[in-house]
């Protein structure tokens, strides 16, 4: 059990930011209105189909943890995620500079269109990613991909993970983490952060740092709430970029309440199915993206 002061909270926007470690905020998304101009364009092919698409909402964020880094990309075609999304995570070691291409050790990318289930794809060799200081400088190039699969498929497991965040903004918050996932006995939570429909738990086990990310059906927000965890990945050890992917389900839930400065949230990832670790099965496809100037 660890207690940490809070860095900030904007619960009125359904954004909770309570991590003990720093994470660059994504580039501020524009207001798309009824129609919008593209801020990211993709090209390539995925399983024989064109991957050309324009995304009008989103951005990239960067996390540094010890000698490891992660760049996150979250984009939507419009302000409605049902119209299509692109979600990617890239991991590497050393320092990563803005506006400079970096070579990730590992990465995953998920592209959805009009609410259809989407494959979890692993990034192959010779890939690069650039976290731009402005939206037009953001880019990535993925010349090869492999496939883990799509939720809710996967191999059943008996793993269970529990995490919690309790306390008051005026006095600090306490985080807890326990259970086993993918053969890793979890503990030593350093912080929990939630932004929209994504929650992350940073932890340290056996002197090595790791990250558990969970994607939710609905965002965490003001008042009482309860929603399911439909996807999760475990990156451990963080600086070696070993990434395992899991599918949640009806018994994997996040529930709690945010009332004023009081925060109470409990997470249970129960018997998730496993899609395995990267690299995955052979997959025909390439994907690249470049930012578009406003």
Range in 68-72, 88-92, 117-121, 147-151 with the lowest mean pLDDT: 117-121
7 has a pLDDT exceeding 50: no
User: How far is residue 4 CA from its own chain's centroid?
Assistant: 22
Asked whether the whole model's pTM tops 0.85, one would answer no
Per DSSP (E only), the strands in 35-101 are: 40-46, 49-50, 53-55, 57-65, 68-76, 85-93
Q: Report the pLDDT value the prediction gives residue 159, as an integer from 0 to 100.
A: 97
Tell me, what DSSP letter sits at residue 99? T
89-108 pLDDT, tens per residue? 999 888 888 999 999 989 99
Position of tokens 């399911």? 228
Q: Provide mean pLDDT across the span 267-285.
A: 95
CA distance 33 to 22: 31
216 has a pLDDT exceeding 70: yes
24-77 pLDDT, tens per residue? 544 444 444 445 789 999 999 999 999 999 999 999 999 887 778 999 999 999
- Percent of the chain with pLDDT strictly greater than 90: 67
Asked if omega into 152 is within 30° of 0 (cis), the reply is: yes
């Amino acid at each position: 059990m660890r207690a940490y002061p809070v860095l900030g909270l904007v619960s009125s926007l359904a954004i909770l930011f309570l991590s003990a470690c720093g994470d660059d905020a994504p580039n501020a998304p524009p207001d798309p209105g009824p129609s919008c101009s593209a801020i990211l364009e993709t090209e390539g092919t995925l399983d024989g189909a064109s991957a050309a698409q324009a995304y009008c909402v989103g951005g990239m964020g960067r996390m540094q943890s010890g000698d490891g880094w992660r760049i996150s990309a979250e984009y939507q075609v419009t302000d409605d995620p049902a119209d299509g999304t692109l979600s990617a995570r890239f991991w590497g070691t050393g320092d990563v500079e803005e506006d400079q291409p970096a070579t990730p050790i590992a990465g995953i990318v998920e592209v959805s269109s009009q609410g259809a289930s989407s494959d979890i794809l692993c990034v192959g060799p010779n890939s690069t990613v650039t976290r731009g200081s402005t939206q037009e400088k953001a880019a990535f190039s993925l010349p090869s991909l492999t496939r883990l699969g799509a939720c809710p498929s996967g191999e059943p497991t008996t793993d269970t993970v529990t995490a919690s965040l309790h306390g008051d903004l005026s006095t600090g918050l306490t985080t807890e983490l326990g259970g086993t996932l993918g053969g890793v006995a979890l503990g030593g939570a350093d912080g929990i952060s939630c932004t929209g429909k994504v929650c992350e738990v940073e932890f340290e086990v056996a002197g090595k740092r790791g990250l558990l990310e969970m994607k939710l059906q609905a965002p965490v927000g003001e008042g009482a709430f309860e929603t399911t965890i439909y996807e999760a990945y475990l990156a451990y050890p963080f600086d070696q970029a070993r990434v395992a992917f899991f599918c949640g389900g009806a018994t994997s839930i996040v529930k709690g309440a945010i009332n004023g400065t009081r925060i109470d949230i409990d997470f249970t990832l129960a018997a998730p199915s496993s899609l395995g670790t990267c690299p995955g099965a052979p997959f025909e496809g390439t994907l690249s993206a470049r930012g578009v100037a406003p």
